[in-house]
């Protein structure tokens, strides 16, 4: 198996893992928000819960490269955005300057890449086979 063949499998595993963690963290933070409060915990919990199914779906569906890239951008944005909100409530300081705005921008960008993936025509083995045979 080449590196190119293993890349989709690795990113799929990462996305399914991230989906599971985001879902679990979202539920745990929802409970923490209900019992402990915190101005930003509930927002972070909502973001985690709403994005968890995206990672699971893309990871399990064997999606296109563009869709996987969009999902990974979404994941980085989610970590930065939620990480900053949670750091504010639990640590009392920001993750780093501009981490929430950068994370939010990456979330928007990730969703736009996911949307754009629907507009890109995917190469399939059946469409590229005649071209590959003609090169022999």
**How much helix, strand and coil, in percent to the nearest 5, is found in the chain?**
80, 0, 20
On the question of pLDDT at 1 being above 50, the answer is: no
Task: Name the pTM for this structure.
Answer: 0.79
Burial state string for 56-95 with b = 16 or more CB within 10 A and e = fewer than 16: bebbeeebbebbbbbbbbbbebbbbbbbbbbbbbeeeeeb
Confidence of residue 54 (pLDDT cuts 50, 70, 90): very high
Distance CA 59, CA 99 (A): 26
Which residue would you say has higher pLDDT here, 120 or 112? 112
On the question of pLDDT at 130 being above 80, the answer is: no
Average pLDDT score over residue span 25-34: 95
85, 104, 16: which is closest to 45 by C-alpha? 85
């Amino acid at each position: 198996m080449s590196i190119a063949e293993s890349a989709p499998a690795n990113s799929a595993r990462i996305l399914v893992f991230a989906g599971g963690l985001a879902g679990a963290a979202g539920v745990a933070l929802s409970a923490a928000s209900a019992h402990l409060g915190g101005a930003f915990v509930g927002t972070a919990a909502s973001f985690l819960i709403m994005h968890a199914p995206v990672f699971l779906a893309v990871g399990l569906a064997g999606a296109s490269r563009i869709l996987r890239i969009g999902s990974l951008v979404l994941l980085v944005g989610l970590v930065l955005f939620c990480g900053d909100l949670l750091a504010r409530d639990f640590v009392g300081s920001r993750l780093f300057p501009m981490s929430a705005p950068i994370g939010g921008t990456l979330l928007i960008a990730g969703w736009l890449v996911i949307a754009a993936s629907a507009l890109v025509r995917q190469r399939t083995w059946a469409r590229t086979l005649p071209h590959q045979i003609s090169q022999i």
